[in-house]
Structure 1
Amino acid sequence: MIRLVDFSAPELLAWLDTQTDEQLDEVPFGIVRMTLEGVVAGYYKSESHITGVSKEYAIGKYYFTQVAPCANNMMIAAKYAQPELDEELDYMLTYVCDPVKVRLRLLKSTFSKYQYFLVNIQ
């Protein structure tokens, strides 16, 4: 059993960086782990369940144009240009799934080799 960190916890980015793919598959909110260039390196079970996009489809693709074009905008994708990012916002996912009201958390730091897109159903 893994120790889960709350969706809004300040230490969440550091915690995510230490978890294996198997451990992240057990987290109750959606997680997309991306390279700093925006290529999907990890796409976990809860995220697939929320969006209907399979892990096999998402891995290796550019997240904001090939996996989730509904997030390719100034509100979300453009913010990842910043060297540091930790922001939560309400959003409506609409791409391949029925519209779903969610809380997003956008995470990026200079100490991490990944950036994260997190989704919590409201």
Structure 2
Amino acid sequence: MNQTVLFSDANLLDWLEKQTNEQLDEAPFGVVRMTREGVVVAYCKSESHITGIDQGYALGKYYFTQIAPCANNMMIAAKYAQPTLDEELNYILTYVCEPIKVRLRLLKSEQSRYQYFLVNRKHYS
């Protein structure tokens, strides 16, 4: 794993697409890999640590209704209807934990196999 991968890297989507689900566990920020329909296929260790949601529990579930209903809104979930998405924003997660200030990155392209929901606790501004 390349430890220099950065949350705001312009080529992050390409990098994510090349990683196995197991390699995503080593990312320095939370990564949720979803099918184009929003079903979780990888829920990395960092994401599990941030949210308190077990990796095994998240797999196979629809992310925006079964795992993160706090993100099922116009600011987040609705944006995944776009064919291409690369947006960063500050957000407050309220999953099953105390509210947590985070920086989100929403990623997908017309060519990408998956879509991604990325969480960084260290760069909320």
Per the shorter chain, which TM-score range? over 0.9
Q: Percent identity?
A: 73
Runs of 4+, deviation exceeding 2 Å: none
Q: Which residue of 1 aligns with 2:22?
A: 22
What's the secondary structure of 1:57's corresponding residue? Answer: helix
Q: RMSD across aligned C-alpha pairs, in angstroms?
A: 0.7
Letter in 2 for 1:66: Q
Q: CA deviation at 1:58?
A: 0.5
Find the aligned partners of 1:111 and 1:37 in 2 and give their Cα distance. 15
Find the aligned partners of 2:11 and 2:17 in 1 and give their Cα distance. 10
- Relative to the length of structure 1, the TM-score reads 0.97
Q: Provide structure 2 residue ranges, at least 5 long, that are not aligned to the other structure.
A: none
Q: Which residue of 1 aligns with 2:93?
A: 93
Q: Which residue of 1 aligns with 2:34?
A: 34
Find the aligned partners of 2:45 and 2:95 in 1 and give their Cα distance. 18
Q: Which residue of 2 aligns with 1:52?
A: 52
Structure 1 position 102 matched with structure 2 position 88? no
Question: Number of residue pairs matched?
Answer: 121
Q: Provide structure 1 residue ranges, at least 5 long, that are not aligned to the other structure.
A: none
Find the aligned partners of 1:25 and 1:64 in 2 and give their Cα distance. 21
- Relative to the length of structure 2, the TM-score reads 0.95
Q: CA deviation at 1:7?
A: 0.1
Q: CA deviation at 1:28?
A: 1.4
Q: Which residue of 1 aligns with 2:82?
A: 82
CA deviation profile, 1:13-48 (whole Å, cap 9, x unmatched)? 000000112211011100000000000010000000
CA deviation profile, 1:64-103 (whole Å, cap 9, x unmatched)? 0000000000000000000000000000001201111000
Find the aligned partners of 2:74 and 2:64 in 1 and give their Cα distance. 11
Find the aligned partners of 2:116 and 2:97 in 1 and give their Cα distance. 20
Letter in 2 for 1:64: F
